[in-house]
Chain A
């Protein structure tokens, strides 16, 4: 799942350049800009379209409806256990495209670099983007790099846009849930958010928490190919599984009931959540999807997800019901029932 570039073998060696850090001139369009693009960026993202260095990529797409998505990545820290801003930017947009049922084909990438960013850091990010794109089977077809003065951004911001083609017969929608449908999640929750937060909070005992950043298009393909009747897919990033399910419940005007026992959380993640006073249902994931499938296809869908490494820990976590439309509820391990509400804002560590 979390395949990382192999720096020890120098499979992705840093080319020799005149500077150690990003200079304003790297974005000025002159010799330094050209050198940055040619020596650092292009070798990582080589594709027929990109190598032409035109102002745009011209693509031939297979027939079908096109899914198109964009996302901007500003994560701090830029390197974290299990990944970095680079593979996050690739996987995030691949997943947003894939959640429509589309096969992602091409990505664009826009960098905003802060003056002074170590070139070695930029290069490391490029290498992990290359690896992530290769794993997901998408091409980088167009891109842009800008440099801003110190303080103009925080080290590096990355925008990626992606497009893919939806196969004939696939039609997924958050508004198509029906009572009786099964709700599945493709593995443990809250790994990414707690990897980031525990790094920010400096919680030493949480060193093992890894981000789950991963491309999910293979998992989506396996799910759709299984023949299970899939109603809706979404990757529960910001706001976590709770937010995704609330969006589903509102869009379809159905109720959703979760089983607390069925929701899997790694021990270390749960420990960090407890200490910070944070509910894992609201924490971001970057390599998980929530699937709603027709009742009779629940086991089939579960088997299809578990056949893939990124879905090995998939679970059925709840079901759709006609009662309490628009509201997500949870049957607690003790057998009581409570609301799982939309979050109000960012979750904040509590006082005591």
Chain B
């Protein structure tokens, strides 16, 4: 099909793989930031086709995985309240909180609905003026503009029965945390292409300069990913650092100014807890005070819910690229997609789920 087949073209992919093999002379560890990239790598088997010298480690860019347990628990409490229509993207529905998930709340009579866009939630609020419509606004910079737009629109229309649980996270502070860790082994990054499509690439320049690493905004199809890897390897081999865009068809240096403007109008940067990792300074977005009326956590007074993360899995180390899923003793035994112990096994974009789905060791 047009605009997809070209980027899955086996011959093009093989040519890039050959070029990578010709370029690489020693071992390199490269992190792909985004869970979508992780899944594409596993689904197409790219990790099997790359030279042994290249190790891909999987980054924290799975919005479902890093949404903190307290956000989930607060969402569950709100969703269970009578009179509430609770809306969420599909893959948040299965994420377990301390005791429940949204599917179970729904089965007990909660009005939980899957939406494809926060603007659908807004429509529900217009159509149900006697109900409280709450949207679970999670994700990286990619989903932030749409979620901000919903709040701005609700404010403009004077909709008082719409609110969001805002738990947005930002990529650059997470990369800073990974690079600053004493046991860091990541030498180059495939930056998340769609985050960069919104935010642009300039905010990565200081990171690349400070830590002397290549940062390469990369797409999600096999040919895109291989182009990103080739670019990263070329820079590593020649000792260069900096930001070089390998996803030109989607990413511009300045990003999408209109999208950035609406994010900036509605949200402001805050410290944010990442599930499995902990609090990272200035790594999240929250509603600005002038939009506090749309803050569901305030509206429903659930801010006091602060559960402890059970220390049963190594998701935090996996999300920081310190370990790979099969290195976890629970992987595939105690911890499976049906009975996940941690968030990286829950989300369809989580690294553990990707390994479990496509590449359980010993099965093939």
Residues of A at the B interface (CB closer than 8 Å) are 201-202, 267, 270-271, 274, 277, 279, 324, 327, 329, 332-339, 341, 344-345, 348-352
Do B48 and A337 have beta carbons less than 8 Å apart?
yes
The residues of A that contact B140 with a CB separation of less than 8 Å are 352
Interface stretch among B259-267, B278-286, B356-364? B356-364
The answer to whether A337 and B364 touch (CB under 8 A), given A274-B4, A348-B90, A351-B89, is yes
The residues of B that contact A348 with a CB separation of less than 8 Å are 90-91, 93-94, 114, 348
Q: Which of B42, B43, B47, B140 has the most CB of A within 10 A?
A: B43
Do B139 and A352 have beta carbons less than 8 Å apart?
yes
| Alpha-carbon separation in the docked complex, A277 to B338 (Å) | 19
The answer to whether A350 and B91 touch (CB under 8 A), given A334-B10, A334-B45, is yes
The residues of A that contact B90 with a CB separation of less than 8 Å are 348-351
Do A336 and B91 have beta carbons less than 8 Å apart?
no
Do A350 and B89 have beta carbons less than 8 Å apart?
yes
Indicate if B301 sits at the interface (CB-CB under 8 A): no
The residues of B that contact A277 with a CB separation of less than 8 Å are 91, 348
Do A341 and B44 have beta carbons less than 8 Å apart?
no
Q: Mark B337-364, 1 if CB is under 8 A from A, else 0.
A: 1100000000011000000111110011
The residues of A that contact B48 with a CB separation of less than 8 Å are 336-337
Indicate if B138 sits at the interface (CB-CB under 8 A): yes
Indicate if B187 sits at the interface (CB-CB under 8 A): no
Do B363 and A351 have beta carbons less than 8 Å apart?
no
Do A352 and B63 have beta carbons less than 8 Å apart?
yes
> Which parts of B214-259 form the interface with A (CB within 8 Å)?
222
Do B91 and A338 have beta carbons less than 8 Å apart?
no
User: Which residue in chain A gives the minimum CB-CB distance to B50?
Assistant: A336
Interface size class of B (residues with CB under 8 A): 35 or more
Do A351 and B360 have beta carbons less than 8 Å apart?
no
**Which of B338, B349, B364 has a CB less than 8 Å from the CB of A350?**
B349
The residues of B that contact A279 with a CB separation of less than 8 Å are 43
User: Which residue in chain B gives the minimum CB-CB distance to A338?
Assistant: B358
Rounded to whole Å, the gap between the CB of B145 and the closest CB of chain A is 11
| Alpha-carbon separation in the docked complex, A196 to B344 (Å) | 30
Indicate if B14 sits at the interface (CB-CB under 8 A): yes
Do A341 and B45 have beta carbons less than 8 Å apart?
no
Indicate if B8 sits at the interface (CB-CB under 8 A): yes
Indicate if B79 sits at the interface (CB-CB under 8 A): no
Do A327 and B363 have beta carbons less than 8 Å apart?
yes
User: Which residue in chain B gives the minimum CB-CB distance to A336?
Assistant: B45
Indicate if B194 sits at the interface (CB-CB under 8 A): yes
User: Which residue in chain B gives the minimum CB-CB distance to A279?
Assistant: B43
Interface of A is mostly: loop
| Alpha-carbon separation in the docked complex, A274 to B48 (Å) | 23
Do A339 and B358 have beta carbons less than 8 Å apart?
yes
| Alpha-carbon separation in the docked complex, A298 to B13 (Å) | 31
The residues of A that contact B357 with a CB separation of less than 8 Å are 339, 341
The answer to whether A336 and B49 touch (CB under 8 A), given A349-B89, A351-B91, A351-B92, is yes
User: Which residue in chain B gives the minimum CB-CB distance to A345?
Assistant: B94
User: Which residue in chain B gives the minimum CB-CB distance to A326?
Assistant: B363
Indicate if B46 sits at the interface (CB-CB under 8 A): yes
The residues of B that contact A333 with a CB separation of less than 8 Å are 8, 10, 44
| Alpha-carbon separation in the docked complex, A166 to B110 (Å) | 47
Rounded to whole Å, the gap between the CB of A204 and the closest CB of chain B is 12
| Alpha-carbon separation in the docked complex, A201 to B43 (Å) | 25
Do B364 and A334 have beta carbons less than 8 Å apart?
no
Do A327 and B364 have beta carbons less than 8 Å apart?
yes
| Alpha-carbon separation in the docked complex, A271 to B4 (Å) | 9
A selection of 9 A-B contacts at a CB cut-off of 8 Å is A277-B91, A329-B364, A335-B49, A336-B44, A337-B48, A339-B360, A348-B91, A352-B36, A352-B139
> Which parts of B2-61 form the interface with A (CB within 8 Å)?
2, 4, 8, 10, 13-14, 36, 42-49
Indicate if B1 sits at the interface (CB-CB under 8 A): yes
The answer to whether A332 and B45 touch (CB under 8 A), given A338-B359, A350-B91, A351-B63, is yes
The residues of B that contact A267 with a CB separation of less than 8 Å are 1-2
Q: Mark B270-311, 1 if CB is under 8 A from A, else 0.
A: 000000000000000000000000000000000000000000
Indicate if B142 sits at the interface (CB-CB under 8 A): yes
Q: Mark B140-158, 1 if CB is under 8 A from A, else 0.
A: 1011000000000000000
Q: Which of A270, A271, A344, A351 has the most CB of B within 10 A?
A: A351
The 5 closest A-B pairs by CB, nearest first: A336-B45, A348-B90, A349-B90, A267-B1, A338-B358
The residues of A that contact B44 with a CB separation of less than 8 Å are 332-334, 336, 338
Do B10 and A324 have beta carbons less than 8 Å apart?
no
Q: Knowing that A335-B14, A350-B91, A351-B139 touch, tell me 9 more A-B residue pairs with CB under 8 angstroms.
A: A334-B8, A335-B10, A335-B45, A338-B358, A339-B364, A345-B94, A348-B91, A351-B143, A352-B143
